[in-house]
Each structure stands twice: as C-alpha cells, then as structure tokens.
Amino acid sequence: MAATTRLIVDIHTHGYLPRYASMLRSRAVVPKIVSTKVRDGAVEERLHILNDEPSGGRPVGRQYWDRDEKLKFMDKHGIDVSIVSTANPWLDFLSATQAEDLANELNDDLEQFCSTGPSLANHQNVKRLYGFGLLPLVPEITTQSLLQSVEQISKLPHLKGLIMGTKGVGNGLDDEALDPVWAAIEKAGLVIFLHPHYGVDSNAWGGKDNGHVLQLALGFPFETTTAVTRMILSGVFDRYPRLRLLLAHSGGTLPQLSSRLASCIDHDPAVASRLNHDARYYLGKLYFDAVAYGPEELGFVSDVIGRAERYEGNKNRESSSPKSNIIKQAAAQLRSSGSKRMFFGTDHPFFPPLSSTEEKWQSVVDNLEAIDAAEGWSEEDKAGVRGGNALALLNIL
Ligand code: URA
Ligand code: ZN
C-alpha cells in the first residue's frame, strides 16, 4: 500500500476564524460569545449558538480559532491532514451585505490559514490544512453574489469545497433559486459539505433537562436527513448529476430510511413521476462522513451506499426493481464499494474530553476504533475511510 494512502485525513473539523470569533463577541443576541468573570478575576468565554442553548452555553477557547491548537490536536490523534470548515451557524443570521463581505473575507482568511501552515513531513507538496469555504447564503442575497463566492472559492488553491447549512436563501435546499449555484459548484468541481445547525422543532424534546443530548444526537442528524431528502425529491441530483455532496454525521438517518422513502415515493405518483431514479439510487451518488461512533453503524451505512448500484437503471427506461443477478452480488462486495464514499471525521473542537486536557479525545478514539472494527471492510477499505478516500475526492496529492 502506498504510504500516502495510509494518511489520516479529518474531513469534518471546524473552527471559528479570529474574524468570525470577534464578530460573535460583538453580538448581544445568539449567536454570540459571552465572557464572564470566574474565580480570581479570570475570564471565561462561553459560546451560545443554538436558540435554546441549554446550561448557559458551552465553554469556548483557543481550540476554536488558533491554528496551533488545531495542529496540536491533529498531532495528538495522529491526524495528518485536516479539511477545516467554519462551524455553525456560518453567516445565516447576517444581512445580505454583511454576509457577502464576511464570506469574502473569511474565504481569504481560511486560504491564508491553510496555505501558510505546515506541509506534511514526507510530502512537501501536501499541506496539513485545507478548507471548505463559505457562501453568503442568506435571504435577499443576489444570485450574482453567490456565484462570485463560488468563483472565489474555486480560485483559492487550498479550499476544496464549501460548507453549507440547510436553509439555502431562506427556503431550504430544494429552492429552484439555487439552481444556478448548484450548476456553478458542479462545474467548478467543488465538494459541498452539508451540515446541520437548527435541529428539529424543540417542542419534540419535552420538558426534562437533557442538556444538548437530544438536539445534537437526534435533531442535528434529522435536519440533515430532511434537507438532503428535499434535494432528492426536487430533482436536484437529476439536474446536476455530478454534484458532490458530503453529508455530515454519516447522512443522519437517510441510510436507515431510504427504502421507506423509496416506497413512499412509489405510492405518490406525482412525486415518483418527476424523479429519474429509485430513491435508493441517489445514496450511491452522495458522500458520507464516518462520524457515527460505532462500527455497526459504519458497516450499515456502507451496505446502503453499496446497494445503490442495484438501482443504476433509469426509472423511465427500465424497471426500478433491482435485477436479480445484481441482487446476488456478494454483500461483502457491496459493503466494500460503499466504504469508498465514506470519510473519517472528528467534529473537533466539539465533543472535547470533560476532564484532563492531556488525554486523547474519546469522541475521536471512538470514530477511529469504529473504522478499525467495521465488519467486512478490508485493510484497504479502512485505509480509504481513514484518509485515502478524502485525498482522492478532494484531489489532494
Ligand atoms: N455542536 C455544534 O454546534 N456543531 C457541531 O458541529 C457539533 C456539535
Ligand atoms: Zn460538525
């Protein structure tokens, strides 16, 4: 196996660049960073980004904005390369003019953050840091401004794509107003990293104090599921078949629900008639991070992605039901082929250890061990998920 394919690449890792953190400090309403005096006059900063942020927000510190801290974290966990993205809620809460200016500045800042950072010791042509940029996706932004940001990102050599939330320009990602943006992103070959922020209606969480648990464990993945399903149902992937969409948190619940989705579509002719393929086909066109924390979940997601090959036929020309010879294709082969669309991630700097700052982060160890223990993945598949797949997807090396 070539040494480069053994590199560990973190595709899901965040930061608030200094310019963004300053903006959060200047705000009186969520999202904001608030500083409070603690013992002995020391100041503690806390991050409030969720509307119903429980427990007075989360402690926030240098690991959110300092490049050295990111590199130290990478070294501690044996991570060679990180693809850094701004954490939620991006620019969602700003006016069009503010979002436009800040997207432009933050994309340049992120390019600088990556390009002036170190290279890999054994591969001087590979940097340790790359990035996903930002678009000013807010209501009332002009299409031209969005297209300018796509062009800006595509010209910045260390930005390999862009992160986006689920709101689009206010009407979600199934909004036809976004068609020119999908077209431009597809043409530029940029990867879109789709990430949640809003969760689902917090009325579903009841009255008990469950901290962030329900929102992060269930609300976040379900938000991603809804957003990408709406894209599928509105035909985005039929119109832009080369669009490369990476889903946070292993696609939320889409893998688990995709056959149910296909069945519901089949029973709704108006929806079925506007799609070129069975719903399960589209999962084979998507990319999934491996931030799922367990080997069974990773194996399952790769099964479902691999199975998409059975639905390659165009629904309007062929039966959507899988051909029996393909059904007999070995499950192991499908699992292995599904793993090629999966990528290690950490979600740093979220989910830190609560006690010592010295130890390895359990959340990272869990995700690495899950890859190690994923049933049916060959050593080559595992090396791919740890890093080789990301290097290939992002054309690094
Ligand atoms: N919490 C967040 O707000 N964002 C993440 O990406 C992870 C945890
Ligand atoms: Zn994240």
CB atoms within 10 A of CB 190: 21
Spans of all domains in the chain: 3-17+61-393
* Confidence class for position 256, pLDDT limits 50, 70, 90: very high
What integer is the mean pLDDT of 330-341? 93
pLDDT digits (tens, 9 = 90+) for 138-163: 999 999 999 999 999 999 999 999 99
382 C-alpha to center of ligand 1: Å? 25
Answering whether pTM is above 0.90, one says: yes
What tokens does 321 get?
A: 């039901």
> How far is the centre of ligand 2, averaged over its atoms, from the C-alpha of 163 (Å)?
10
Among the atoms of ligand 1, which is closest to the Cα of residue 49?
Answer: 3
Q: Tell me the C-alpha distance between 140 and 280, whole Å.
A: 34
Check pocket membership of 350 for ligand 1, CB cut-off 6 A.
Answer: yes
The CATH topology of domain 3-17+61-393 is TIM Barrel (3.20.20)
Report ipTM (2 d.p.): 0.95
Q: From the CB of residue 220, how many other CB atoms can be counted at a distance below 10 Å?
A: 23
Q: Which segments within 135-204 are labelled E, that is strand?
A: 159-164, 191-194
What is the model's pLDDT at position 3? Answer: 59
Least confident of 44-58, 125-139, 316-330: 316-330
Q: Distance between CA atoms of 200 and 314, rounded to whole angstroms?
A: 34
pLDDT of 217 above 80: yes
Per-residue pLDDT, 341: 98
Q: Using an 8 Å Cβ cutoff, are 65 and 21 in contact?
A: yes
For 220-236, the pLDDT digits (tens) are 999 999 999 999 999 99
Which band of pLDDT confidence, cut at 50, 70 and 90, is reported for residue 318? very low
Ranges 2-11, 84-93, 358-367, 377-386: which has the least confidence: 2-11
155: helix, strand or coil: helix
Spacing, Cα 47 to ligand 1 middle (Å): 11
Find which of 207-221, 301-315, 335-349 is predicted with most confidence, using mean pLDDT. Answer: 335-349
**Exposure b/e, 145-171, CB count within 10 A at least 16 = b:** bbbbbbebbbebebbbbbbbbbbbbee
Strands 43-48 and 58-59: antiparallel
Specify the residue with its C-alpha closest to ligand 1, atom 8.
350
Rounded to whole angstroms, the Cα distance separating 65 from 88 reads: 14
Assign 317 a pLDDT band (cuts: 50, 70, 90). Answer: very low
pLDDT of residue 358: 66
Query: Regarding beta strands 32-37 and 43-48, do their DSSP bridges make them parallel or antiparallel, or are they unpaired?
Result: antiparallel
| CA dihedral of residues 361, 363, 366, 370 (deg, nearest 10) | -130
Using one digit for the tens of pLDDT, what is the confidence trace for 168-184?
999 999 999 999 999 99
For all residues of the chain together, what is the average pLDDT?
Answer: 93
Cα 289 → chain centroid:
7
**CA distance linking residue 98 with residue 308, whole number of Å:** 41
Q: Which residues surround ligand 2, an ion (CB under 5 A)?
A: 347
Give the residue, 54 or 167, on which the prediction is more confident.
Answer: 167
**Would the pLDDT of 51 be above 80?**
no
Q: Which ligand is nearest to the CA of 57?
A: 1
Centre of ligand 2 to C-alpha 65, Å, is 15
Amino acid at site 349: P
Residue-level pLDDT at 281: 97
Task: Report the residue among 212, 223, 350, 351 best suited for mutation to probe ligand 1: largest number of ligand atoms under 8 A from its CB.
Answer: 350
The atom of ligand 1 lying closest to the CA of 212 is 1
87 lines ligand 1 (CB under 6 A): yes
Tell the residue nearest (CA) to atom 7 of ligand 1.
350
**∠ CA 245-69-165, rounded to 5°:** 25
Per DSSP (E only), the strands in 29-143 are 32-37, 43-48, 58-59, 81-86, 119-120, 123-127, 129-133
* Ligand 1 close to Cβ of residue 88 (< 6 A): yes
Q: What is the mean pLDDT of residues 26-33?
A: 96
The closest alpha carbon to 371, from 320, 296, 313, 264, belongs to 296
Q: Is 216 in the pocket of ligand 1 (CB under 6 A)?
A: yes
60-65: list long-range contacts, CB under 8 Å, 24+ apart: 60/33, 63/348, 63/349, 63/352, 64/14, 64/15, 64/16, 64/21, 64/349, 65/15, 65/16, 65/17, 65/18, 65/20, 65/21
Lowest mean pLDDT among 32-41, 283-292, 338-347: 32-41
The pLDDT > 90 percentage for the chain reads 83
| CB of 49 closer than 6 angstroms to any ligand 1 atom | yes
